[in-house]
Every structure is written in C-alpha cells, then in structure tokens.
Amino acid sequence: MPKHNRLALAAALIQRLPRRLHEPLLSRLFCSQVRFAGTAGVRIQKLSDSEVRMSLANHRRTRNHIGGVHAAAMALLAESASGCMVGMNLPDHKLPLIKSLKVDYLRRASGSLRAIATLQPEQRRAMLEQDKGETLIQVMLLDDSGGEPVRCEMHWAWIAKRN
C-alpha cells in the first residue's frame, strides 16, 4: 500500500470487516466520488494495489437499443476499473489524469459485464517513485458468456499536485 493514500487506507479498513460488507461498502465509497459510476450501478468486487475487479449489470438504465450494455457504459466500466487501479497506487500528493482511452468493440456483449484491471510491479513502482509519469493499463472486460466483447487500454498520467 502506498504511503499516504486515502483510497488504499479506506479499502484496507473495509476489508477488515465481514466479507459480506466488502462489495457494498467499497462500491458506495467509489460511487460517492465518481457519481456517474453510481448512476450506472458500477460495483466493486475487489480493490487491491495489484488488481481491481468491477461489474456492471445489464439493467434498463445502461441498456442500448438492442438490449445489451451500452457502449458508453462499457467504456465507463473500463475507465472506472483503471482509475481505481491508479488510485490504489498513486500517493495522495500526486494527481491522476487520464490521457486517452481506447476501446475496441469486438462483438455484442451478452448479459452483464465484469472488468479486471491489473498493474505490473514496475508500473506500481513508477507511480510511487516518479513525481511525473504515465502508464498504459490493460482492462479485460468479460460478459456473462465468458467472452471478451471489447478490448480496452487506458493511458493514465500523473503529476505532483500544486499546493
């Protein structure tokens, strides 16, 4: 856990509670800060410094005209997972900035979606040690069939906050 990181500290405290409380409390914590994710119904299943797992149900408010999860909601899920991954690793005195998101739509999604974002040890080290930097974060999006309807790559940067 990075020194002086409020998100990582809050996640660690929540994960000391009974397991049944982890998802609702982690999700509420995230969605209180990222309101659009709350509106869409993004849920957090796992939040650690090496892996973030989130989900988005295929419900009416996120559905497109053909009954699947809307393309913008898929991008929101991927960006949310990658943003949490950055947030878990970046010390509070640094500001995360998304530079670009690349989402390749491969096929129609079936049902709900799960996102898995991970970081390599060298990416985590760079976030801790460098005052300014950038990294590509791969996010795997899987649907209920176990297939990958979209391929996502998020380009994040960070800079030192101004006091």
Q: Residue 8 pLDDT more than 60?
A: yes
Residue 126 lies in a domain: yes
Domain of 97 in residue numbering reads as 6-160
Average pLDDT, the chain: 92
**CB under 8 Å to 152, separation ≥6 — which residues?**
75, 78, 82, 101, 102, 103, 104, 115, 138, 139, 140, 141
Q: Is the dihedral of CA 91, 160, 79, 125 positive or negative?
A: negative
Question: What pLDDT does 3 receive?
Answer: 57
Residue 117 lies in a domain: yes
Residue 45 lies in a domain: yes
Residue 112 lies in a domain: yes
Taking CA atoms, 110 is separated from 4, 132, 143, 156, in Å, by 40, 39, 6, 29
Mean pLDDT of the region 140-151: 94
CATH number of the domain enclosing 130: 3.10.129.10
Q: Which residue do the tokens 């295929």 mark? A: 58
How many folded domains does the chain comprise? 1
Residue 76 lies in a domain: yes
Residue 52 lies in a domain: yes
Quick: pLDDT tens for 29-64: 888 888 888 888 999 999 999 999 999 999 888 888
